[in-house]
Amino acid sequence: MRKKIMSGMRPTGKLHLGHYLGVIDNWVKLQDEYDCYFSVADWHALTTTYDKTENLRQDVLDVVMDWLACGIDPKKATIYVQSLVPETAELHIYLSMITPQNWVERDPTLKDMAKILKTKEGMGTQVNYGLMGYPVLMTADILTFNADFVPVGIDQVAHVELTRDIARRFNNVYNTEYFTEPQPLLNNCSLICGLDGNKMGKSFNNDIKISDTEEVTAKKIMTAITDRSRIRKDDLGHPDECEVAFKYWNIFGTEEEISTVRSECEQGLRGCAACKRQLGEKVLLEKLYINYFPFN
């Protein structure tokens, strides 16, 4: 029997290159060898934005469109909406009975989410019961299928560790081997930062969307931060201090290109504008590979 993969994403709007390089690219490769279940986690979205549901329906569709564009193939993998599988909610109740409160309280990802919430305005700034249950709900997602592996971004690994703990505890409490302890799977690609050097994220307005057109992508790349100490284009550059553009070269360029960029930059033979124009073409090639344009 093929091993099983389960993973998901919250429908937070159109996805960006961080989602693609960090997670989806990995899913696309895995779908040939494993039974894959990919969930649009709309209940998880409600844990923080329960008061903003107007766009949820469209956000779910947008996530699925981006997945399809990236090459997730419904003939190979099962794509589904979390809330359409009520058995997962039922399992969540049972799992919540055996999960000690301090296990969820010490979950580092949850702590970060709570911190971010407190900086926002309006209704949804407190930590609700539902948000505390976030990792238990994710555990229910994974254990619904008894998945062997869970391919996620680095920020989700702590949740998968908790899933293992809960599965083990269930098996102990009921003296069974019913649940498999799943393992997280990380993509080996280095994390892509946002155009301003911070973590790439929709709310930071520093992302390149999978669905951005060629023009928009090229324009955005031109705003990527470079070596701040460089003023004129023939000043000697420092690729290692080039905060974003050179990092992108490392992700999208071939080894040969990267070393050419490095030496031309260091010798002052390469202006930042021209450098980023060329980088934009590399990123577009990667995005063409993603294959979005036929959908536009």
Note the residues at the interface with ligand TRP (CB under 6 A).
6-10, 39, 41, 44, 138, 141-142, 150, 152, 156
Query: Which residue's CB is nearer to ligand TRP, number 156 or number 211?
Result: 156
Q: List strand residue ranges (DSSP E) for the chain, in order.
A: 4-9, 35-40, 78-81, 149-151, 183-185
The reply to whether 4 sits near ligand SF4 by the rule CB under 6 A is no
Q: How many residues are present in the chain?
A: 296
- DSSP character string of 67-104: HHHHT--TTTSEEEEGGG-HHHHHHHHHHHHHS-HHHH
How distant is the alpha carbon of residue 182 from its chain centre? 19
The reply to whether 230 sits near ligand SF4 by the rule CB under 6 A is yes
Task: Give the total of residues touching ligand SF4 (CB under 6 A).
Answer: 14
Inter-residue contact 242 to 293 (CB < 8 Å): no
Stretch 120-159 residues interacting with ligand SF4 (CB under 6 A):
none
Residue 140 Cβ, how far from ligand SF4 at the closest point, in Å?
46
Which tokens is 244 given? 């974003």
Residue 117 Cβ, how far from ligand TRP at the closest point, in Å?
14
Sheet holding 4-9, edge to edge: 78-81, 35-40, 4-9, 149-151, 183-185
Question: Pattern 252-281, binding to ligand SF4, x per CB under 6 A?
Answer: ---------x---x----x-x--xx-----
Q: Which does 261 bind (CB under 5 to 8 A by kind): ligand TRP, ligand SF4, none?
A: ligand SF4
Which tokens is 95 given? 């799992």
Q: SS3 for 224?
A: coil
Q: Which does 195 bind (CB under 5 to 8 A by kind): ligand TRP, ligand SF4, none?
A: none
Q: Which does 245 bind (CB under 5 to 8 A by kind): ligand TRP, ligand SF4, none?
A: ligand SF4
| 38 strand-pairing partners | 7, 79
Residue 172 Cβ, how far from ligand TRP at the closest point, in Å?
23
Nearest to 179, CA basis, from 189, 191, 170: 170
Binding test (CB under 6 A) with ligand SF4, winner from 226, 252, 283, 287 = 226
Q: Which does 239 bind (CB under 5 to 8 A by kind): ligand TRP, ligand SF4, none?
A: ligand SF4
Phi, psi at 78, each rounded to 5°: -95, 120
Q: Which does 164 bind (CB under 5 to 8 A by kind): ligand TRP, ligand SF4, none?
A: none
**Interface with ligand SF4 (CB under 6 A):** 226-227, 230, 237, 239, 242, 245-246, 261, 265, 270, 272, 275-276
